[in-house]
Amino acid sequence: MVADALTRATGRLVQLVEIVTPGDRSLAPVAQLGVGVFVSALRDALADKEIDFAVHSYKDLPTAPMDGLVIAAIPERADARDVLIARDGLTLAELPAGSTIGTGAVRRIAQLHGLGLSLNTVPIRGNIDTRLRKVTDGELDAVVLARAGLVRLGRADEITETLDPMLMLPAPAQGALAVECRADDLDLIEALSVLDHRATRAAVTAERALLAALEAGCSAPVAGMAEVADDDDGGEEIYLRGAVFSEDGQQAVRLSRTGTLADAEQIGRLLAADLLELGADRLFGPTHVGSEDENVPGSAR
């Protein structure tokens, strides 16, 4: 998708190079794999000049920048919300008490438990087919995935409910892509810049600043979602919502902040400070590093 967009915009042809990462090969719980497990191999290929640029699911990237590399473009974001794929076309509220829901993300697990619906969560890994088959075969009653990945893979018709962010606040940067290249490749940076979407970059910057200031990896029970809208003066503003949950979902701290697009990073950091002031750091469990989930070939990210 990114290669085709770049060719349309610039006329430059792009050769696709498939790279398998350690995270793709492992079926271990995500929290045990460590930060950057789904991007390290691509970054190594960039540093070794085996490839010219890499396309990441942005929520996979560690919040700290990597020396010598730059995010040259953040294309327009897909729908950031989570979705439910359930047996018999059921919605979340229609699932009977005791139903089993598959997800590997502690953020989702915490929010599902916090709804008080007496649902059981089961950690799962694997690609889209593997996860959905667990529902169709009756092993699970439902799974929760990112809508963006399903849409990109042409599987949106299998969604039974798109979850309101008031019920299931997404992970920071969910639905966004990061196009990364070497910082000294100025010609390529300029070419890739045509793919950059200003509002998406501002929203994702605010969300990732929130995550970084909380010093939490993206498998922590932290959620954040920024939206860009017109303000009363005819300009644009960011509305950022953030939340931190206890792993059992019984406690949560939720707050929001607004500001200009130019202040995106500051908005995220200020919201993190607000959350910490209310005791958000006491809600982190013992395992809060790593990448969130679903990051294997054919996955919904």
From 4, 48, 52, 60, the catalytic residue: 60
Q: What are phi and psi of 62, to 5 degrees?
A: -55, 150
Pull the structure tokens for residue 171: 């992970």
d(CA 235, CA 231): 5
293 is catalytic: no
Phi, then psi, of 269 in degrees rounded to 5: -70, -40
The residues annotated as belonging to the active site are 60
